[in-house]
A and B are shown apart, each in its own frame.
Chain A
Amino acid sequence: MTAATPARGPGPVPTPAGAAAGARSVLVVGAGPAGLAAARAARERGASVVLLDASDATGGQYWRHLPDSRPSANERVLHHGWSTYRSLHEELERDPGCETVLGAQVWAIERADAPGTAAPVAVHVLVGPPDGSRRVGRTFRPDALVLAIGAHDRTLPFPGWDLPGVFTAGAAQAFAKGERVALGERVVVAGAGPFLLPVAASVAATGAKVLGVYEAGRVKGLVRGWLPKPWQLIGAAKKGGELAGYVGTHLRHRIPYVTGRAVIAAHGTDRVEAVTIASVDADWAPIPGTERRVETDSVCVSHGFTPRLELPIAAGCDLTADRFVRVDEGQQTSVPGVYAAGEITGIGGVDAALAEGEIAGHVASGGSARDTDLAEAIGARRTFTGFAARIEAAHGIRRGWTGWLEDDTIVCRCEEVPYGRLRETREATCGSGLRSMKLTTRAGLGICQGRVCGRTVEELLGGAASDPAASAPAASAPAASGPAASVTTDRRPIASPLRIGELAAGPDLTRSSTTSNVQKGHP
């Protein structure tokens, strides 16, 4: 049991020492590009800011870096926009009006539904080492909440993807940049999307050999999307510069970049030893007779991203038809006082995230999206959010991928549910009800809370994948407007696993929001 601490339990956001008394309180969740930009913009307007991140460093996945205990002379060579990060980080670090709380895991958001409630939500947090049993609970009831929690890799299952040595592309990058660990010596990078390029560059910068980058999208789609001259197509010189940098890296390291190919199987007994790479058609269906076996010790595969939606859903935020958080011109969600920025509003990359974060922080602290000092950010957002649509057009998951599944391919890694069981269940029940099929098969019910397989299971058990007429990318699951349909796997009332003891010691979620409201207030 944890001893009671003054910080636990109901109460306002503690005002950081440097903020003016009575200042508007803004809680920012996520200290990646969007969250850092939001915190700075809110501070510029005089708000009292608390910035949370589950990690023990700011920067998010994009600027994942070595810990302070491992200083180096030239870490910037591993990053794009490193000086932007350092200035954001240092400015907030020396600002007494911004309290940065690291190791802060938000595990629940409580809606304040009562009429007249001033704080839009109560945010319950555990602070301490990841998965530690003695973390300290804190609850925040800010005037405004900015969610900037990002997205994680989505990797589609394929035979052998559960073998050790098969990783998400994000893992390869996180360990290259955050640990200087190479996950293998002969590395295959595969999946879909422009993110594969920086991953391959990061892997190459560890000294490992990247055997190739295998992109499932076909050339035609890519040309329509953003290759070969992305800077012209998207009218964004900066993004073009970044991609050009990756292309340069590929040329220097002679990394083949091949489109219309997919890793359709990994082979090995207790670890990956080889993969089968096949040509895929425009629908991502593998083309028989094109299979080629490649010996490898490390396979890094990602087919896109899944936005982290459990917190916005818990806050009551509407989603868009393609399942991102719906925001208005000021980045406010459908819930007054709750804002969203970065990848949870669309996969737009770092520049979109920085612009959205700045707008969200500015408006959350009482400004307007029409204020002239936001003009640059509004323009940048317009430029860079177009990128998201282009990525989806060129790289979005196509339904033909199920053609590489075998009946014994594990789909849910936690509960070890094979594809055959999902298929049989769907056929036996005529595809009725995601919830009951999940309970029958146990798919998506494991410790990762369906984060890895959730959308895949939805598609395999019905939903978009069972609709043969639909030609839209399979990733565009059925429209969910209103507080996300309860049947989706994105809903997680307990947003992160916690220990029973921590739950017992933590804030009482059964307390009514009216009570919460009474206890809210600023000195």
Chain B
Amino acid sequence: MAARIVPAKRDPIRPAPANPIVISIDGDPVAGIEGQTIAGVVLASGRLAWRRTSVDGRPRGLFCGIGVCFDCIVTVNGERDVRACQRRAGDGDVVSSQHDELPEAAR
């Protein structure tokens, strides 16, 4: 019941063997394939949401998939607000999810 990468053996495009990478997501090591976006790696690991909204604390993950909506933003190697659907995952990347509380005055 989750997103998954198409198994190479069943893929009609007949992919060549892929280069494995490992990134860390909130401290957990997660395996991916070189060339995947961070969103691709995270989704294929079974995670559907990786951000909490500021007002209602609701879970969010991928929505538009093409860099328009900014729902999927994460912190990558200390750099905030990176669109996970646009940034390619690099071996060893340290990814953390974001939950930004509103300043008190805005509540």
B77 to chain A, nearest CB (A): 10
Instruction: State A70–B48 Cα separation when bound (angstroms).
Output: 24
Instruction: State A14–B9 Cα separation when bound (angstroms).
Output: 46
A167 touches B63 (CB 8 A): yes
A129 touches B87 (CB 8 A): yes
Q: What string of 1s and 0s marks CB contacts (under 8 Å) between A12-27 and chain B?
A: 0000000000000000
Q: B44, B61, B65, B81: which contacts A131 (Cβ < 8 A)?
A: B81
- Residues on A with beta carbons closer than 8 Å to the beta carbon of B33: 70
B15 proximal to A (CB < 8 A): yes
Instruction: State A77–B69 Cα separation when bound (angstroms).
Output: 29
- Residues on A with beta carbons closer than 8 Å to the beta carbon of B73: 131, 447
How many residues of chain B have a CB within 8 Å of chain A? 54
A456 proximal to B (CB < 8 A): no
Which residue of chain B has the shortest Cβ distance to A182 in the bound complex? B4
A181 touches B3 (CB 8 A): yes
B88 touches A67 (CB 8 A): yes
B6 touches A207 (CB 8 A): yes
A413 proximal to B (CB < 8 A): yes
Q: What string of 1s and 0s marks CB contacts (under 8 Å) between A121-161 and chain B?
A: 00000000111110000000000000000001100000000
A313 proximal to B (CB < 8 A): no
A297 touches B13 (CB 8 A): no
B86 proximal to A (CB < 8 A): yes
B1 proximal to A (CB < 8 A): yes
A180 touches B1 (CB 8 A): no
- Residues on B with beta carbons closer than 8 Å to the beta carbon of A219: none
Q: B6, B19, B34, B67: which contacts A206 (Cβ < 8 A)?
A: B6
- In the complex with contacts A70-B35, A168-B63, A181-B5, A416-B13 CB distance below 8 A: no
- Residues on B with beta carbons closer than 8 Å to the beta carbon of A132: 79, 82, 87
Given contacts A171-B65, A171-B66, A297-B1, could you give 5 more A-B pairs where the C-beta distance is less than 8 Å?
A56-B88, A77-B13, A164-B59, A181-B36, A452-B69
How many residues of chain A have a CB within 8 Å of chain B? 59
B58 touches A179 (CB 8 A): no
Query: Which residues 154-202 of A have a CB within 8 angstroms of B?
Result: 162, 164-168, 170-172, 174-175, 178-185
A419 to chain B, nearest CB (A): 14
Instruction: State A172–B55 Cα separation when bound (angstroms).
Output: 27
Q: What string of 1s and 0s marks CB contacts (under 8 Å) between A67-83 and chain B?
A: 11111111101100000
B65 touches A170 (CB 8 A): yes
Which residue of chain A has the shortest Cβ distance to B12 in the bound complex? A77
B35 to chain A, nearest CB (A): 4
A61 proximal to B (CB < 8 A): yes
B37 touches A170 (CB 8 A): no
Instruction: State A101–B87 Cα separation when bound (angstroms).
Output: 17
- Residues on B with beta carbons closer than 8 Å to the beta carbon of A152: 64, 66, 68
B93 to chain A, nearest CB (A): 11
Q: A75, A129, A130: which contacts B13 (Cβ < 8 A)?
A: A75
A-B contact pairs, 9 of them (CB 8 A): A68-B35, A72-B15, A78-B13, A132-B82, A132-B87, A168-B66, A270-B49, A271-B49, A413-B69
A72 touches B43 (CB 8 A): no
A448 touches B70 (CB 8 A): yes
Q: B15, B34, B64, B82: which contacts A170 (Cβ < 8 A)?
A: B64
A413 touches B63 (CB 8 A): yes
- Residues on A with beta carbons closer than 8 Å to the beta carbon of B81: 131, 447, 497
B13 touches A73 (CB 8 A): yes
Query: Which residues 409-423 of A have a CB within 8 angstroms of B?
Result: 413-416
Q: A54, A55, A180: which contacts B11 (Cβ < 8 A)?
A: A180
Q: A78, A165, A448: which contacts B48 (Cβ < 8 A)?
A: A165
Q: B55, B61, B66: which contacts A164 (Cβ < 8 A)?
A: B61
**Residue of B68, B73, B86 with most chain A CB atoms under a 10 A cut-off:** B68
Which residue of chain A has the shortest Cβ distance to B72 in the bound complex? A171
Q: A56, A74, A414: which contacts B14 (Cβ < 8 A)?
A: A74
B65 touches A168 (CB 8 A): yes
Q: B5, B49, B69: which contacts A180 (Cβ < 8 A)?
A: B5
B43 touches A175 (CB 8 A): yes
- Residues on A with beta carbons closer than 8 Å to the beta carbon of B49: 164, 270-271
Q: What string of 1s and 0s marks CB contacts (under 8 Å) between B1-42 and chain A?
A: 111111100111111101100000000000001111101100
Instruction: State A330–B61 Cα separation when bound (angstroms).
Output: 42
A66 proximal to B (CB < 8 A): yes
Q: What string of 1s and 0s marks CB contacts (under 8 Å) between A425-467 and chain B?
A: 0000000000000000000001110011000000000000000
B6 touches A162 (CB 8 A): no
Instruction: State A73–B67 Cα separation when bound (angstroms).
Output: 28
Instruction: State A296–B87 Cα separation when bound (angstroms).
Output: 29
B66 touches A162 (CB 8 A): no
Which residue of chain A has the shortest Cβ distance to B47 in the bound complex? A164
B1 touches A179 (CB 8 A): no
